[in-house]
């Protein structure tokens, strides 16, 4: 017969083992299901619509502001746009040779904060305008990192550098070509196609030529101010959006936390607004059709991965899924 103390010790050990196993199971469930319907709600009843663009917010279920536990490094991430504007980050050409260095820029983090850089972000200046091709995190006090980029201004390679300025996010048409192919020729072809469709003339075949048109800028600001107002008046418990124009679903972006989404919201909105102004029509896609699209992303992890391999991207940091984009 077991003595009481020994029996109690064994009970404690067994209980501890079950607790550890239980926590591990919960952690695995948390990691695998964080970007699925188990954790997310597509809020069809509270969509926002302005002219050619409809935006449906995506909200986390349960605790507000996040889909799961967040490592400290993730909660401290500063968006690239803010880091450039505040001088946390310096962006420079890597060298003078267009052949060797056109697809790389040197970035330096002068701050004690990690900086989140998303593929699709546009940089104007340097020897030619660029678009970032890979999601990455620039760690604090990084003396230099080579950032992969592609050219979005085929006809310019200046002798002197211009200061790089963050110019928002590329539209989903260009982002899809970028993320799926990472092919410079296909990127130039897509930019040329968009410029011709919009009847925009550009000596340097610059993607940003559209955004220098006065009427376009005025329309862009009207859209942006409307959707900024909707975000500010909402309960702010939003981690992503799905965007619609005419009879097309332009795409979706979802982040791990509300802060990450809100910090990236202006560049993302500019990309969707670009398409709505240039090629959009009054939104007419039914909620049922949108749900079928979102089911390919949010039903389960396997379906999501297979769909995004051809129609978007996933970005992981510290073993956490941080951001997904679909087109």
Dump pLDDT digits (tens) for 225-249.
999 999 988 877 899 999 999 999 9
SS3 (DSSP) at 137: strand
In a domain, 62, yes or no: yes
Mean pLDDT calculated for residue range 204-226: 90
In a domain, 79, yes or no: yes
Taking each helix axis as running N to C, give the angle between helix 258-279 and helix 214-233, from 0 to 180 degrees, rounded to the nearest 10.
140
Contacting residues for 81 by C-beta, under 8 A, at least 6 apart: 121, 166, 168, 266, 267
| Whole-Å CA distances, 196 to 73, 83, 205, 280, 305 | 43, 34, 10, 16, 34
Return the pLDDT at 97. Answer: 56
Of 69-73, 113-117, 190-194, 216-220, the range with the lowest mean pLDDT is: 69-73
Half-sphere exposure for 295 (CA within 13 Å, toward CB): 6
**Cα distance between residue 288 and residue 103, in whole Å:** 42
Average pLDDT, the chain: 86
Return the pLDDT at 100. Answer: 62
In a domain, 19, yes or no: no
**Cα distance between residue 136 and residue 131, in whole Å:** 13
Tens-digit pLDDT profile for residues 254-311: 999 998 999 999 999 999 999 999 889 999 999 999 999 999 999 999 999 999 999 9
In a domain, 11, yes or no: no
Q: Are 277 and 269 in contact (CB under 8 A)?
A: no
In a domain, 13, yes or no: no
The total domain count for the chain is 1
Return the pLDDT at 38. Answer: 93
**Cα distance between residue 119 and residue 75, in whole Å:** 20
Return the pLDDT at 145. Answer: 94
Token pair, residue 15, equals 């209980």
Return the pLDDT at 236. Answer: 74
Contacting residues for 259 by C-beta, under 8 A, at least 6 apart: 65, 75
In a domain, 25, yes or no: no
Query: Residue written as tokens 């550890």?
Result: 20
With a threshold of 0.95, does the pTM exceed it? Answer: no
Return the pLDDT at 137. Answer: 95
Q: Which one has a higher pLDDT value, 37 or 21?
A: 37
Return the pLDDT at 24. Answer: 37
In a domain, 314, yes or no: yes
pLDDT(158) > 90: no
pLDDT band at 251 (very low <50, low <70, confident <90, very high): very high
In a domain, 146, yes or no: yes
Domain that holds residue 290: 33-326
SS3 (DSSP) at 68: coil
pLDDT(7) > 80: no
Contacting residues for 189 by C-beta, under 8 A, at least 6 apart: none
Mean pLDDT calculated for residue range 212-227: 92
Task: Enumerate the β-bridge partners of residue 145.
Answer: 107
């Amino acid at each position: 017969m077991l003595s009481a103390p020994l029996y109690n010790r064994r009970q404690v050990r067994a209980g501890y083992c079950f607790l550890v196993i239980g926590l591990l199971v919960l952690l695995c469930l948390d990691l695998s299901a964080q970007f699925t319907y188990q954790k997310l709600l597509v809020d069809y009843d509270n969509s926002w619509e302005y002219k050619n663009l409809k935006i449906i917010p995506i909200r986390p279920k349960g605790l507000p502001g996040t889909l799961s536990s967040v490592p400290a490094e993730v909660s401290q991430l500063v968006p690239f746009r803010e880091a450039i504007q505040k001088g946390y980050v310096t962006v420079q050409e890597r060298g003078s040779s267009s052949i060797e260095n056109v697809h790389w820029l040197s970035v330096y983090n002068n701050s004690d904060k990690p900086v989140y850089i998303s593929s699709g972000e546009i940089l104007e200046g340097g020897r030619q305008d660029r678009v970032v091709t890979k999601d990455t995190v620039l760690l604090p006090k990084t003396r230099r990192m080579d950032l992969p980029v592609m050219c979005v201004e085929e006809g310019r390679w200046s002798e002197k550098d211009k200061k790089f300025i963050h110019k928002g996010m590329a539209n989903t048409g260009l982002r899809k070509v970028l993320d799926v192919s990472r092919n410079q020729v296909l990127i130039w072809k897509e930019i040329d196609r968009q410029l011709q469709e919009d009847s925009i003339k550009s000596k340097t075949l610059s993607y940003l030529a559209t955004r220098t048109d006065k009427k376009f800028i005025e329309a862009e600001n009207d859209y942006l101010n409307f959707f900024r107002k909707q975000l500010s008046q909402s309960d702010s418990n939003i981690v992503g959006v799905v965007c619609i124009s005419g009879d097309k679903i332009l795409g979706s972006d979802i982040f791990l936390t509300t802060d990450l989404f809100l910090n990236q919201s202006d560049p993302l909105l500019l990309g969707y607004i670009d398409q709505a102004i240039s090629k959009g029509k009054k939104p007419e896609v039914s909620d049922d059709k949108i749900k079928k699209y979102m089911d390919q992303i949010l039903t389960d992890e396997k379906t999501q991965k297979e769909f995004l391999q051809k129609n978007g991207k996933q970005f992981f940091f510290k073993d956490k899924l941080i951001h997904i984009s679909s087109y």
